[in-house]
Amino acid sequence: MSQFMSLFLVLSLIAFAPLCCFSSKTHGGYLYPQFYDHSCPNAQQIVKSIVADAVAKEARMAASLLRLHFHDCFVQGCDASLLLDSRGSLVSEKRSNPNRNSARGFEVLDEIKSALEKECPLTVSCADIVALAARDSTILAGGPSWEVPLGRRDSRGASLSGSNNNIPAPNNTFQTILTKFKRQGLNVVDLVALSGSHTIGDARCTTFRQRLYNQSGNVLPDSTLDQSYAAQLRTRCPRSGGDENLFFLDFVSPTKFDNSYFKNLLSSKGLLSSDQVLLTKNEASMELVKIYSENNELFFEQFAQSMIKMGNISPLTGSRGEIRKNCRKINS
């Protein structure tokens, strides 16, 4: 495909992305931002205030809360299934490969839920709390704002296999990652924009070690990784040991939500293989990386739209599911 055609395709994709979304039609009902205006008017303010305290204590928490929304929505929809602890025959999604020793921020959500139960018992769902906390975290890190459509209800079950199979992994190929997004009704524009959330947060050595030592089973480092950057990473990510050592996903501005993530990709300094393949393995995604690296405003706009779209994956509405009293367990 010529560069011109590829750019044309990408601009068409962006142009026809729906300009969202005061209400989002779902199976069995609508999500809309004013859902709690009468039943719990202070709900959004309570979420915002507790998230702000948590992020003030630890900047990394913004990325952790944002990631929980992503890992929740990609498994049976945005239904707070991820928040359930193992109990009886229910096996928690927290035990899956993408979440074990990795998903965090649950205590912040517990604190929000407890405050909301005092304010308006059995009214605000854990699924909506996760969606609001993700938006508030993005804003606190300097990112875009959007109105969160609300009215999701909470699942009465979880899916360990869904969590293991549906969430993109750091070493997946580009095609596998795109397929996992398409399964959720998301496209390549959503994929690149939402990957931009890696402008904040950390990754463990174990998630990218193969890039430093043995990317293709040939005992050679990944050729798409800047070699001086790789040498720097090796000092704290050895061949064995140090699995849990943390590294910034965006070393330029690790706690600031901006487009430097995309600039890093253009310098071959994406940390995860799943980041760098956006530039090296697909023409449309490569063009989007270039566009967002040059235009922070466009990245912010698309990120907000894609977050609304992701937040609308198969929510439970109407009488389906429940409003949990405690986000970690189903109501008895």
Residues flagged as binding site for heme b? 198
> Residues within the annotated binding site?
72, 75, 77, 79, 81, 93, 168, 198-199, 250, 258
Helices (H), 2-74: 3-15, 43-57, 61-73
How many Cβ atoms sit within 10 Å of the Cβ of residue 156?
16
Report d(CA 60, CA 137) in Å as an integer.
10
The C-alpha angle 147, 261, 7, rounded to 5 degrees, equals 85
In b/e form, how buried is each residue of 284-301, taking b as 16+ CB within 10 angstroms? Answer: bbbbbbbbbbeeeeebbb
Give the residue from 191, 173, 174 showing the smallest Cα distance to 182: 191
- HSE, side-chain direction, 13 A CA sphere, residue 126: 30
Report d(CA 259, CA 293) in Å as an integer.
6
- Annotated active-site residue 71? The verdict is yes
In the set 27, 38, 69, 71, the catalytic residue is: 71
Strand, coil or helix: what is 90? strand
Contact indicator for 80, 72 with CB cutoff of 8 Å: yes
Which residue has tokens 């967002």? 292
Which residue has tokens 């050729």? 223
DSSP bridge pairs for 29: 26
Contact indicator for 145, 135 with CB cutoff of 8 Å: yes
Contact indicator for 305, 19 with CB cutoff of 8 Å: yes
First-to-final CA distance of the chain: 57
For 69, the token pair is 């929304």
Q: Where does residue 206 rank: exposed (0-12), middle (13-18), buried (19+ CB within 10 A)? A: middle
> Residues within the annotated binding site for Ca(2+)?
72, 75, 77, 79, 81, 93, 199, 250, 258
Enzyme catalytic residues: 71
